[in-house]
Structure 1
Amino acid sequence: MSSLSETNQRKLGNTGESLARSWLESQGYVCLAQNVYTRQGELDLVMQEGETLVFVEVKLRRSARQGSPLEAITPLKQSRLIQAARYYLFKHPHQGPLRFDALGLQKQSDGTLVYTHIKNAIQSD
């Protein structure tokens, strides 16, 4: 059974991922998968930009007090994302280029969201 805070975190994460997906689609990306769970970790979004397969890690912050959303992508989290992506590629082979992006959503005091999209934010071997 999950605690209330885990449930709230999951809801916040799902909200952030849905907002990120819509924003990326408005930028011309195509969503191939959302919330892909593996033993290695979770892939928030699997998108395609042209021929490039893009794994997107999404972080949403409700206020600046919690720091930048992108600061939450630790080296351990990056390693798990890479492992989850390898598993995804094993199940869904892709011959073209691929990359790992980070998309931070920061809620401002006036309620608006600021999107920070960093392409190639995570490097793999």
Structure 2
Amino acid sequence: MRAKDAVGRYGEDVAAAYVRDAGWVVLDRNWRGERGELDLVALDGTELVAVEVKTRRTATFGSPAEAVTPRKLARVRRLTAQWLAAHEVHPASVRIDVVAVLVTGRGAAQVDHLVGVV
């Protein structure tokens, strides 16, 4: 596994633990759709949340959340619709969140959770 892939996987593990600790139920991880992948799909109460996880080792080029572009969010919206069509889940509502993870190598990873980014 490449170092970049390992950092991404670690960030997804941190994000999954973060939402579980918040009381969410993780329904899916790394779900592959026709044109991409959803990092996390979870239930926050009765609301379905598609979570885009961005992980970085440094903030030199901005925060991890800044890497989530409008184009990426459009892809996440399309994939969320595909996920809903493929599963027997009928949430009260749906939203997209971003969990940005900064892994500096010193201490615990820093987590920034952006709710309802679309």
Whether TM exceeds 0.5 here: the answer is yes
| More off after superposition, 11-20 vs 51-60 | 11-20
1:79 to 74, 77, 83: 74
Q: How many residues align?
A: 117
1:61 to 49, 52, 56: 56
* TM-score normalised by the chain length of structure 1: 0.85
CA distance in 1, matches of 2:20, 2:81: 24
Instruction: Report the identity percentage.
Output: 34
Gaps of 5+ in 1: none
| More off after superposition, 108-117 vs 35-44 | 108-117
Q: Structure 1 residue 23: deviation in Å?
A: 1.1
Would the aligned equivalents of 2:12 and 2:39 in 1 still touch at CA under 8 Å? yes
Q: Structure 1 residue 109: deviation in Å?
A: 6.3
Gaps of 5+ in 2: none
**Correspondence list, 1:1-125, <5 A:** 7-92=2-87, 93-108=89-104, 110-121=106-117, 123=118
CA distance in 2, matches of 1:65, 1:85: 31
| More off after superposition, 56-65 vs 110-119 | 110-119
* TM-score normalised by the chain length of structure 2: 0.90
> Secondary structure of the equivalent of 1:44?
strand
CA RMSD of superposed structures (Å) = 1.6
CA distance in 2, matches of 1:36, 1:66: 28
Structure number with higher relative contact order (C-alpha < 8 Å, ≥ 6 residues apart): 2
